[in-house]
């Protein structure tokens, strides 16, 4: 389970985001239906969604952040269309929101800055200058992965960084970073190998970032 959310304009609608897709209940969770027609990687199928957001005025309009795409549904989640691909300078979306005063305008945050998206018009980019303001560990992409996956993170200050992959038993599998690093945006690639250079088995793993007082863990899946 990744997220549970009530529609603010249709309180009888209860949405659940899971690894298998987006589920809808209209009877307070007694029964659930899997919403179909959700694109993943440019095709129709079941995605691994990240965040669900609601339109401030229309309960039929939903936004779904899936990493490298921002998706929109205008029929309560039954069908989805790509609203914006990931910009080349920032290949993953973190979150999105609709301007409550001007619903035709969306704001999409990425680890590289804030994007202002106007429906039917050009995309303006507003990127905050300088170093990041906070520590952050992002979702790896792709996820699930086979050969290699990228793990993004950011540091607001120079810090001793340790990024380790663990198995479900809490045992360390691979140390990806263990050094001091400067403030800024960082990415590290895990090639699916353990410390001994052997291929890790298929399954669920966890990667943990510790830097200064910051500690955050996220989940990934390896499929051979």
Q: Which domains are assigned to the chain?
A: 3-126 (2.130.10.10), 136-222 (2.60.40.4070)
Q: Which residue has the tokens 């990415």?
A: 187
Structure tokens at 107: 């704001």
pTM for the model stands at: 0.47
| pLDDT score at 204 | 96
pLDDT by residue (tens digit) across 81-125? 777 554 444 446 677 777 766 777 777 776 556 667 765 443 434
Q: Which two tokens stand for residue 161?
A: 């960084």
> What is residue 53's predicted lDDT score, i.e. its pLDDT?
82
66 and 50 Cβ atoms separated by less than 8 Å: yes
pLDDT at 128: 45
pLDDT, position 49: 44
Cα gap 110→96, rounded to integer Å: 9
Position 112 scores a pLDDT of 56
- Residue 78 is encoded by which pair of tokens? 């039954």
Distance CA 90, CA 87 (A): 5
Please calculate the CA angle 24-68-52 and round it to the nearest 5 degrees: 25
- The DSSP 8-state label assigned to residue 201 in this structure reads P
**For residue 192, what pLDDT is reported?**
93
Say what the pLDDT of residue 67 is. 67
- Asked whether the CA dihedral 192, 196, 201, 203 is positive or negative, the reply is negative
Which residues, given as ranges, of the chain have pLDDT below 50? Answer: 37, 39-49, 86-91, 120-129
């Amino acid at each position: 389970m990744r997220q549970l959310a009530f529609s603010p304009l249709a309180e009888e609608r209860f949405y659940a985001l899971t690894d298998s897709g987006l589920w809808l209940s209209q009877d307070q969770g007694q029964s659930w239906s899997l919403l179909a027609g959700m694109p993943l990687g440019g095709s129709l199928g079941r995605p691994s969604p990240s965040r669900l957001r609601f339109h401030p005025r229309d309960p039929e309009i939903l936004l779904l952040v899936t990493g490298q795409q921002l998706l929109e549904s205008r029929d309560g989640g039954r069908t989805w269309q790509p609203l914006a691909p990931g910009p080349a300078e920032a290949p993953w979306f973190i979150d999105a929101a609709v301007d409550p005063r001007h619903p035709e305008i969306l704001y999409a945050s990425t680890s590289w800055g804030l994007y202002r998206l106007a429906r039917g018009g050009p995309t303006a980019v507003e990127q905050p200058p300088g170093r990041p303001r906070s520590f952050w560990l992002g979702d790896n992409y792709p996820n699930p992965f086979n050969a290699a996956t990228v793990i993004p993170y950011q540091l607001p200050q120079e810090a001793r960084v340790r990024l380790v992959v663990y198995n479900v038993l809490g045992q360390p599998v691979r140390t990806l970073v263990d050094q001091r690093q400067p403030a800024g945006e960082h990415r590290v690639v895990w090639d699916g190998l353990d410390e001994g250079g052997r291929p890790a088995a298929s399954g669920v793993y966890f990667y943990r970032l510790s830097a200064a007082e910051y500690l955050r863990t996220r989940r990934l899946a390896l499929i051979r």
